[in-house]
Chain A
Amino acid sequence: MKNVEIYVSEVVKYLPRQLRDEVKTELLSQIMDMVEESEGDEKAVNAILESMGSPKTLADRYLNKEKSLIGPRYYDTYMMIVKIVMFALAIAFSVTFAIKLIFSDNFTFWMILEYPMSLLNAAIMGFAYVTIIFAFIERNQVKTDDIDLNQKPWTIVDLPKESIDSPTHRFENIFEIGQVTILMFVINFQPQLIGIYSSIVNQGETTWTVTPLLNEITRGSWIIWVNAWLIMLLISGVIKAIFRLGKKQRLLYSSLFEFIALVIFMFIVITQKVIVDNVAGLIAPGNASFEQLVNRGSLVLLIVILTLSLFEIIRKVLKAIKLTT
């Protein structure tokens, strides 16, 4: 009988704490009923336990959990987003590689070799990010096989305002996820490309210089926050691709992640030194009035972004509330 107890303990090990005691008592009693009906020797007990399946499999059945990282419900969307991300990365890589080739003074063989290697590296990272996001969504999804007897029948009111396959909707998603991916790639892999491009003509020969705008000295502290901000935007884009247009979940979840992204963005702006000091001075050295204009302009721009984003989030939440009532 020792094996029975071990088996039951192994099963409940995979269950949430609040379920363990109840399942343990019940399962033990159920197995003991079966044991009593059998010959009762060790061999028969072991055969009973084997017929129940592995403890992990049985625990999964108690949790009603299918063993898949990304289930059929989200698989198509997942594949679509993986393709968008891969496509965006390929474009971003090709463009940045071309820029590097154009503005580089000493072209080497290693630069060509670096291109596929970095592309592969970024593709793996992009793939991992998207998979992690989808695995999280899959893990937290509402179980579709829960039967709700009080569920209202479908009426015309439930019809979405726009078809999910609308080309505009699809283009918006591709564009949004694509631009976040490109930005993520550039900030992580080619940060030096975000800068002020200037040319100097010396003895008839033009040489290009790039003054980076991102602060490399403080990079260690801001890069995590900038990535967190971009991941929130990516999640918001993925949510929009999953839920149908006009669905309240789409509005609520996407506004929640947009709000988190906005909070992180404001945190970055206020506490982190992402941009190098004296940008105006780099563009037009010694021009005090231009410097003042840039400083004031940045502040105004920030307030406009904050107001518009908050307005958009509130509008979505109100729309979701309207859909609920």
Chain B
Amino acid sequence: MKELIESYFLELRRGVLILGVLSQLANKEYGYSLIQKLQDNHFEIEAGTLYPLLRRLEKQGLLESSWELIENRPRRYYQISEQGVILYEQLKKEYFDMNAIISQLTQGERT
């Protein structure tokens, strides 16, 4: 049962992963700084999930990236693109609409 619950949690989280990531990329961030920023806000994401996701979002034109040399080491920074902002706003609206509906649906259950 525990495994089943975990798999449903994972499924639920997967849906909001992009929303969480895009929300923190108004300013440029590199991979690990983004993980920390998300974790500071209690949004857990594994590096093995985030790094490929950043590349994919960049490939889809939702993020912009740039390489910088920090202490003689190249580091890739990511920032939300114009298209990314459009998607982010739409996802956010959809999320809050759904949230309101689910709250309404589950409220009847509580009383």
Interchain CB contact under 8 A, A52 and B62: no
Partner of A30, one of B30, B60, B86: B30
Compute how far the CA of A27 lies from the CA of B33 in the bound complex, rounded to whole angstroms.
Answer: 14
Q: Does A161 contact B (CB under 8 A)?
A: no
Q: What 0/1 pattern do residues 235 to 248 of A give for CB contact below 8 A with B?
A: 00000000000000
Could you say which residues of chain A place their CB within 8 Å of the CB of B56?
64
Could you say which residues of chain B place their CB within 8 Å of the CB of A158?
none
Partner of B87, one of A23, A27, A147: A147
Nearest B-chain residue to A26, judged by Cβ: B76
B17-70 interface with A by 8 A CB criterion? 30-33, 46-49, 51-53, 55-56, 60-62
Q: Does B74 contact A (CB under 8 A)?
A: yes
Interchain CB contact under 8 A, B52 and A34: no
CB distance from B13 to the nearest CB of A (A): 15
Could you say which residues of chain A place their CB within 8 Å of the CB of B60?
146-147
Interchain CB contact under 8 A, B52 and A61: yes
Compute how far the CA of A159 lies from the CA of B32 in the bound complex, rounded to whole angstroms.
Answer: 46
Could you say which residues of chain B place their CB within 8 Å of the CB of A25?
74
Interchain CB contact under 8 A, B52 and A51: no
Could you say which residues of chain B place their CB within 8 Å of the CB of A34?
32, 47
Could you say which residues of chain A place their CB within 8 Å of the CB of B93?
none
Compute how far the CA of A52 lies from the CA of B46 in the bound complex, rounded to whole angstroms.
Answer: 7
Partner of A57, one of B31, B48, B55, B76: B48
Interchain CB contact under 8 A, B31 and A33: yes
CB distance from B39 to the nearest CB of A (A): 12
Interchain CB contact under 8 A, B51 and A27: yes
Q: Does B83 contact A (CB under 8 A)?
A: yes
Could you say which residues of chain B place their CB within 8 Å of the CB of A48?
47
A1-43 interface with B by 8 A CB criterion? 23, 25-27, 29-34, 37
Interchain CB contact under 8 A, B83 and A53: no
Could you say which residues of chain B place their CB within 8 Å of the CB of A23?
55
Q: Does B73 contact A (CB under 8 A)?
A: yes
B interface residues, tally (CB under 8 Å): 23
Interchain CB contact under 8 A, A29 and B75: yes
Could you say which residues of chain B place their CB within 8 Å of the CB of A64?
52, 56
A interface residues, tally (CB under 8 Å): 23
Interchain CB contact under 8 A, B48 and A61: yes
Compute how far the CA of A64 lies from the CA of B49 in the bound complex, rounded to whole angstroms.
Answer: 11
Q: What 0/1 pattern do residues 73 to 87 of B give for CB contact below 8 A with A?
A: 111100000010011
Interchain CB contact under 8 A, B48 and A30: no
Interchain CB contact under 8 A, B75 and A51: no
CB distance from A10 to the nearest CB of B (A): 13
Q: Does A107 contact B (CB under 8 A)?
A: no
Nearest A-chain residue to B35, judged by Cβ: A34
Compute how far the CA of A146 lies from the CA of B86 in the bound complex, rounded to whole angstroms.
Answer: 16
Could you say which residues of chain A place their CB within 8 Å of the CB of B51?
26-27, 30, 58
Q: Which of B31, B33, B87 has the most CB of A within 10 A?
A: B31
CB distance from B81 to the nearest CB of A (A): 11
Compute how far the CA of A62 lies from the CA of B56 in the bound complex, rounded to whole angstroms.
Answer: 8
Compute how far the CA of A34 lies from the CA of B60 in the bound complex, rounded to whole angstroms.
Answer: 26
CB distance from B41 to the nearest CB of A (A): 18
Interchain CB contact under 8 A, B48 and A53: yes
Partner of A58, one of B31, B32, B52, B74: B52
* Contact A30 to B49, CB < 8 A, known contacts A64-B56, A147-B62, A149-B86: no
Interchain CB contact under 8 A, A33 and B32: yes
Compute how far the CA of A196 lies from the CA of B10 in the bound complex, rounded to whole angstroms.
Answer: 65
* Contact A62 to B52, CB < 8 A, known contacts A147-B87, A149-B83: yes
- 8 nearest A-B residue pairs (beta carbon): A33-B32, A61-B52, A52-B48, A30-B31, A53-B48, A62-B52, A26-B76, A58-B48
18 pairs from A and B in contact (CB 8 Å cutoff): A26-B76, A27-B51, A29-B30, A29-B74, A30-B30, A30-B47, A33-B75, A34-B32, A34-B47, A48-B47, A51-B48, A52-B48, A58-B51, A61-B49, A61-B52, A62-B52, A146-B60, A149-B61
